[in-house]
Amino acid sequence: MKITNNKVYLGIGAVSIGLLGAVSLWARPPFTDAQVAEQQQELLDVVNKGRDLWHGSNPAMSTNGLACGNCHPDAAASNPNTFPKFVPQLAKVAPMREMINWCIVHPQAGKELDPTGSDMVALEAYAVYLYRGQKIEPGYTLPLPPDPVKSGVGYPHTPSGIGVDK
């Protein structure tokens, strides 16, 4: 096939425009400061919801009064940075949300959550938030405590009551 000069020029032009567009997109700040602040607040709202759920705000998660926080204060030893990993109770490699559901069904004798539902996302968000900055250690099996004093829990929160025994 014969390639004419015109087609070469057109091709170079198209590539140049494409590159220019890509560079423009790359250079443009993705979000304004206000947008970033808004998105961060959305995250913190979900973290706060997760903190309440962690301490018993959804009665369906427990029939014996126990909540995640009984055994995992400050999400300690929940190890979100080690998942997915082999979970002996499940006999398979599983994400954290399946381990959360195992805890809800067994130690808490409650009803498991929709793995893709907003409550599960909030519980994960809370645990991950308290482990922020920690090294990702897939498969690690020993407890890896968060350092909430160093990482800071500093977001506003009002106690909502704990467990079903109110």
Partner 1 sequence: MSDANELTRRRFLGLAGQAGLTTFAARAIGVNLGLVEVLSAETKNGVQPFSFAIITDSHLFSIDNHKFDKALADAVAQVNALTPAVDLVVYTGDIAQNGREDQLVKGKKILSQLKAPLKVIPGEHDWYLDMGKAWNGLFGKETWSFDHKGVHFIGLNSILVKDFWTGAGLTPLQRMSTMEMLESPIAGPWGVRDAQLEFLRKDVKKLSASQAVVIFTHSPLWDYYPRWNFQTEDAPQIREILSKFDHVTSLHGHVHQTIYNKFANISSAGALSTSWPWPYPPVKLDYPGSQMNQSDPANVKDGMGTQSVTFDASGGGKVAYEPFANSLTPFLQDGVKV
Binding site for partner 1 (CB under 8 A): 55, 64-66, 69-74, 76-77, 88-89, 103, 106-107, 141-143, 145-149, 153, 159-166
Bridge partner list, 94: 85
- Min dist CB 31 to partner 1, Å, is 32
Q: How far is the CB of 122 from partner 1 (least distance, A)?
A: 17
Minimum separation from the CB atom of position 106 to partner 1 (A): 8
Backbone φ and ψ of 121, nearest 5°? -60, -40
The Cα 158–Cα 40 span in angstroms is 19
The Cα–Cα gap between 119 and 46 comes to 9
Q: Which is nearer to partner 1, 20 or 93 (CB)?
A: 93
CB of residue 161 to partner 1, shortest distance in Å = 5
User: Do the Cβ atoms of 119 and 58 come closer than 8 Å?
Assistant: yes
Backbone angles phi, psi at 11, to 5 degrees: -65, -45
Taking the least distance from each CB to partner 1, the nearer of 45 and 147 is 147
Closer residue to partner 1 (CB): 20 or 136: 136
